[in-house]
Amino acid sequence: MDKRPWEANIRKVVPYVPGEQPAGDRLVKLNTNENPYGPAPGVRKALREMDAGGFRKYPDPAANALTAALAARYGVGQDQVFVGVGSDDVLGMAFLTFFNGEKPVLFPDITYSFYPVWAELFGIPFKTCELDSSLRIRKGDYGQPNGGIIFPNPNAPTGLLMGLDEVEEILGRNQDVVVIVDEAYIDFGGQSAIPLVSRYENLLVVQTFSKSRSMAGMRIGYAIGHRDLIRALNDVKYSYNSYTMNMPSIILGAEAVKDEAYFQETLGRIVATREKTKGWMRELGFDFPDSQANFLLVSHGQAKAEWLFEQLKKEQIYVRYFKTPRLDNRLRITIGTDEEMEILRKALEKLLQFADVYAG
């Protein structure tokens, strides 16, 4: 079929592919790194007491209730906090705002797969830096000329963590560009780079409510950085969409930040389950990087990942499979409740009885 004239003006991109969101009550969903526990009690209380009559008005464009709560939690100025509709919105806005040079933006070759999508969408030159044989970021690769740097810490989907000294080493080499540290999973086992914001004006740290704060459905993300970076982000936001945050997200997000005890309790439960899962995964013959996130990236020498993925789905157990180079024989498995992980263990034990038939 010949191309229609108006199609010549359509932007063509290869989109990000999100994890499946299957429906059903009896499934075990371990494919999108959601938190298996509900949000803080204060969130539930605020939701019950919310006045729906306020929905007729536009929300506060500055999301002051939420930025004030985040500023207090992290000990920064309110003018150092930017919020958006999930960390994807914040990161996409950061790409649009800060990566406008002629030199390529650098990020790992195995990392969050939205990065190349944004770069291509916004026409940003980029270069991927190959992880080493242990799937770790090689700090030396980030000393080459560039127009900006972004990397997750812990990295996704490997779960591997860089120490704060390593993050600072990359920062020290790149003070003439904006460096973004994507900390979607930092609460599960690492030290945040937020304290470095006071020393590095070019550092932007991005976090999310979707993982550790159990609020993926509310779509809340935020960035913390020097006030000049935040001002630049807001200038772009107000030129694009002034009302990115809805009223319930602002109110409920602020309540979530206030309950530190509940936050630490649920984090502890997930970390304990993760470490227990590592133990029986090794006993079953799985290999994986030592994740400090709320997921494991596993492979098995006698069973193909794609086959395991399909067989688990038949049992209503959903994990993530990436059919891409260097990842095509690995599964990313979210850490769920102890009960969910026990269901997974029993299913894998059963499937691995046939591993010799499906060996890679």
SS (H, E, C) 278-332: HHHHHHCCEECCCCCCCEEEEEECCECHHHHHHHHHHCCEECEECCCCCCCCCEE
Average pLDDT over residues 209-219: 96
176/181 Cα distance (integer angstroms):
16
pTM for the whole thing?
0.94
Residue with token string 């994740």:
291
Rounded CA separation 171/79 (Å)? 22
Beta strands 295-300 and 317-318 are: unpaired
Q: 252, 46 in Cβ contact below 8 A?
A: yes
Task: Tell me the average pLDDT across 101-106.
Answer: 97
Averaged pLDDT for residues 280-309: 96
Largest CA distance in the chain: 62
Q: What six digits make up the tokens of 228? A: 């000049």
* 107-156 pLDDT, tens digit each: 999 999 999 999 999 999 999 999 999 999 999 999 999 999 999 999 99
Among the listed ranges 7-16, 42-51, 166-175, 212-221, which one has the minimum average pLDDT value?
7-16
Q: In angstroms, rounded to a whole number, what is the distance separating the alpha carbons of residues 286 and 136?
A: 19
253-277 tens-digit pLDDT: 999 999 999 999 999 999 999 999 9
79 pLDDT above the threshold of 80: yes
pLDDT of res. 304: 93
Q: Is the peptide bond preceding residue 116 cis, with omega within 30 degrees of 0?
A: no
CA distances from 194 to 78, 120, 168, 220, 251 (A): 14, 28, 11, 18, 24
Read off φ and ψ for residue 18, nearest 5 degrees: -75, 165
Residues in contact with 39: Cβ distance below 8 Å, sequence separation at least 6, in sequence order? 213, 214, 215, 252, 256
Q: Could you give the count of Cα atoms lying within 13 Å of 145 in the half-sphere of its Cβ?
A: 4
Calculate the average pLDDT of the chain.
94
Model confidence at 17, pLDDT cuts 50, 70, 90, reads confident
Amino acid at the residue 338: D
The three-state secondary structure class of 53 is helix
Q: Which residue has the tokens 């997930």?
A: 270
C-alpha span between 188 and 292 (Å, rounded): 6
pLDDT on residue 356: 61
Q: How far apart are the first and last CA of the chain?
A: 41
- Alpha-carbon torsion, ordered 81, 44, 51, 216, to 10 deg: 50
> Between these two residues, 8 and 356, which has the higher pLDDT value?
8
pLDDT at 360: 46
CATH assignment of 41-259, among 1.10.274.100, 3.30.70.100, 1.10.3210.10, 3.40.640.10 = 3.40.640.10
Count CB-CB contacts under 10 A for residue 345.
16
- Check whether 67 has a pLDDT greater than 70: yes
The single-letter DSSP state of residue 75 is T
Q: Where are the alpha helices (DSSP H) in 203-304?
A: 227-240, 247-258, 260-283
DSSP class of residue 161? -
| pLDDT per residue as tens digits for the range 303-337 | 999 999 999 999 999 999 998 889 999 999 999 99
Confidence of residue 29 (pLDDT cuts 50, 70, 90): very high
Output the six-digit token pair for 200.
């590095």
pLDDT band at 22 (very low <50, low <70, confident <90, very high): confident
Return d(Cα 117, Cα 122) in angstroms, integer.
Answer: 9
Structural domain spans, the chain: 5-38+261-354, 41-259
Length of the chain: 360
Q: Return the CATH architecture of domain 5-38+261-354.
A: Alpha-Beta Complex (3.90)
Provide the pLDDT for residue 48: 93
Q: Is the pLDDT of residue 355 over 80?
A: no
What is d(CA 180, CA 49) in angstroms, rounded to the nearest whole number? Answer: 37
What pLDDT shows up at residue 221? 97
Domains 5-38+261-354 and 41-259 share a fold: no
With 0-12 / 13-18 / 19 or more C-beta atoms within 10 angstroms meaning exposed / middle / buried, residue 10 is exposed
